[in-house]
Amino acid sequence: MPLDGVVPFPEEFQQRYRERGYWEDRSMDQVFREAFQRHGDRVALVFGDENITYGELAQRSQALAGYLWAEGLRPLDRVVVHLPNTPAFVYLHFALQRIGVLPIMALAAHRRYEIDHYVRLAGASAYFGTDPGLAREIRELHPWLRLLVTGDELLHPPDAPPAPAVDVDPTDPCVLLLSGGTTGIPKLIPRTHNDYVYNTKAACAAQEISADTVQLCVLPLAHNYPLACPGIQGVFLHGGRVILGSGTRPEQVLPLIERHRVTHVGGVPALYIRWLADPLAGSCDLSSVILLQSGGQRLQPEVRRQLARTFPNGFVQENFGMSEGTLFFTSKSDPEEVRMETVGVPVCPDDEVRLTDEEGREVSPGEVGELTVRGPYTLRGYYRAEDYNQRVFTPDGFYRSGDLMRQHPSGAYLVEGRIKDLINRGGEKISAEEVENLILTHPAVRNVACIPLPDPVLGERMCACVILKEGAGLDLAGLSDHLMGLGLAKFKLPERLEVVDHFPLSTFGKVSKKQLVDQLSAGSA
């Protein structure tokens, strides 16, 4: 029986995607268990001084699956996974696939406020984290949770019988990813076994992943990008090796590339800029790298050129993707202007792309429009969000992404901005509305508008513009303390506070955030 709250692909599209070979009707567990067995003695994962083979990865995931089954988890249960980049994350991901349980991929930086929301929205059965104090808070809020794991059970689970064979419907979700949504806390994105396997394989083809691939992974694994675009899933399918980094500082990253002869790196512009500025970039041997994947925000052409000089054998590959589905990649064979200026083209021939105006009509070639998409790995609805789905999906199933694009004469696409009210801080999308709602709970605040201000490294930083109540005072430290007291993740905190007497208004009487950005960027509030 389908999971309540999930919008399925219509039958005619399911049939089309099967006939064209995109959907294999195999579960994630079937696909990856076969890969682990095929690659057996090869090293799959390197973490510090630990080398973990495919056989060991399979054995540890299976043992963990048995323990979780014995603890009462069952197919289509929802669980919150709140872990940093360690082997435990990898074991848990594949253990949950083994028993058909759906992980909600919380970011390690999330705190009580976000975790509480995910548990409530999804009716989660379990929480997996590393902070005992936070786990106690979650238990107090949700005493009915069956399982909280904060110790080393993930690495060394108690002995339990093997989990039984589970009959998984490949059209059911295999994971619930987080959106970069604009309305409050991120929405949950159900990705099915069929579409997520295809997502991974299509991204592999765009990067020519093979058994010789050595991938450095330092971005949070809970993101779709390092997990499946092609991410660790793509490398594991082909028998390559993943070097799992524990930090993103240059001294933590560049020596790893030299030591392990890394071939593929996934990053965001803010990280690349940081690495390039460090003296280690000129002293480490980075010649093994053949591909540098960049996503999350536009990579400026000058940064591309610097990367090409620092990584002499590396192709800098721009991509645009969303946890909701559709992926765009540039290619080594593209003309220079396409590689420098665009995000390439969608990876699937059946990715249906429309650029539309405010009325939903397709714009003329070369004009800017909202990216509106439908395809074999793009969702048909957010989880348990019926009203919201009515607004962001067209009647014929196209997803209104909120991203503005223009088509290049070559057929590739250029990102021109967004309709969404988001702050893009180093590739992390922060909902302005979510933070504004929490700031309004401060007793000194009458009104607030959170805006993005340009930053040379992170791309954007958040500035909170507030109108205070008469006689009240507020500084940035006090605002930060208030928000952290509500359990907000630290990366979402405003990094600048501007107290203003009034907000500029648009012709429709709404707060004009564009004018605020222009005023503050010019140095006048």
Domains with residue ranges and CATH for the chain: 1-18+192-416 (3.40.50.12780), 27-169 (3.40.50.980), 422-521 (3.30.300.30)
Concatenating the DSSP letter of every residue in 464-478 gives EEEEEPTT----HHH
pLDDT at 39: 98
Tokens 């603890």 sit at which residue? 71
User: Average pLDDT in the 91-104 region?
Assistant: 98
Residue-averaged pLDDT of the chain: 93
Separation CA 109–CA 84 (nearest Å): 9
Residue owning tokens 């592999």: 204
What's the confidence (pLDDT) of residue 112?
A: 95
pLDDT at residue 507, as a whole number: 46
Phi-psi region of 286 (alpha: psi -120 to 50; beta: other; left: phi over 0): alpha
Contact assessment for residue 153 and residue 71, using Cβ atoms and an 8 Å cutoff: no
Q: Strand, coil or helix: what is 524?
A: coil
| Angstrom distances, CA of residue 7 to CA of 3, 189, 386, 428, 495 | 9, 10, 9, 26, 38
How buried is residue 467: exposed, middle or buried, by Cβ count under 10 Å (0-12/13-18/19+)? middle
Contact 26, 14 (CB under 8 A): no
From first CA to last CA, the distance across the chain in angstroms is 56
pLDDT tier at 305, thresholds 50, 70, 90: confident
| Residue with tokens 């990856």, as numbered in its chain | 32
pLDDT in tens, 429-464: 888 878 988 998 999 998 899 999 999 889 899 999
Average pLDDT over residues 250-271: 95
Give the pLDDT confidence score for residue 508 in this predicted structure: 43
Query: What does the H/E/C string look like for 425-463?
Result: ECCEEEEHHHHHHHHCCCCCEEEEEEEEEEECCCEEEEE
Rounded to an integer, the average pLDDT of 495-507 is 85
Rounded distance between C-alpha atoms, residue 19 and residue 211, angstroms: 29
Helix (H, G, I), strand (E, B) or coil at 203: helix
pLDDT at 188: 97
For residue 391, name the pLDDT band (cuts at 50, 70, 90).
very high
Sort 280 into a burial class: Cβ within 10 Å, 0-12 / 13-18 / 19+. Answer: middle
Question: What distance in Å separates the CA atoms of residue 57 and residue 282, rounded to the nearest whole number?
Answer: 36
Residue 384 and residue 397 in contact, taking contact as beta carbons nearer than 8 Å: no
Q: Are 56 and 36 in contact (CB under 8 A)?
A: no
- Tell the residue number behind the tokens 């929490």, with chain if given: 438
What pLDDT score does 474 carry? 96
pLDDT at residue 183 greater than cutoff 70? no
- Output the CA–CA distances (angstroms, integers) from residue 493 to 194, 247, 459, 500, in the order listed: 37, 21, 16, 19
> Range with the lowest mean pLDDT among 8-22, 232-246, 297-311, 403-417?
297-311
Q: How many residues does the chain have?
A: 525
Q: Is the pLDDT of residue 369 over 80?
A: yes
pLDDT band at 524 (very low <50, low <70, confident <90, very high): very low
Q: Among 62, 83, 40, 85, which Cα is nearest to 159's?
A: 62
Strands, E, within 323-382: which ranges? 325-329, 345-346, 352-356, 369-374
Give the contacts of 305 (CB within 8 A, at least 6 positions apart).
Answer: none
Distance from C-alpha of 370 to C-alpha of 358, rounded to nearest angstrom: 8
Over residues 236-241, mean pLDDT: 98
Helix (H) or strand (E) holding 121: helix 112-122
* Residue found under tokens 């999330």: 110
Residue type, 237: L
Which amino acid is present at 162?
P
- Decide: pTM greater than 0.75: yes
The span from the CA of 346 to the CA of 329, in Å, is: 7
| Most confident by average pLDDT, 66-80, 356-370, 417-431, 446-460 | 66-80
Question: How many CA atoms lie less than 13 Å away from 4 in the CB half-sphere?
Answer: 4
Give the torsion sign (CA, 433, 227, 103, 374).
positive
pLDDT score for 181: 55
pLDDT at 300: 80
| For residue 225, pLDDT beyond 50 | yes
Q: At residue 388, does pLDDT exceed 60? A: yes
- The DSSP-derived string for 133-194 is HHHHHHHHH-TT-SEEE-SSTTTSPPP-PPPPP----TTSEEEEEEP--SSSSPPEEEEEHH
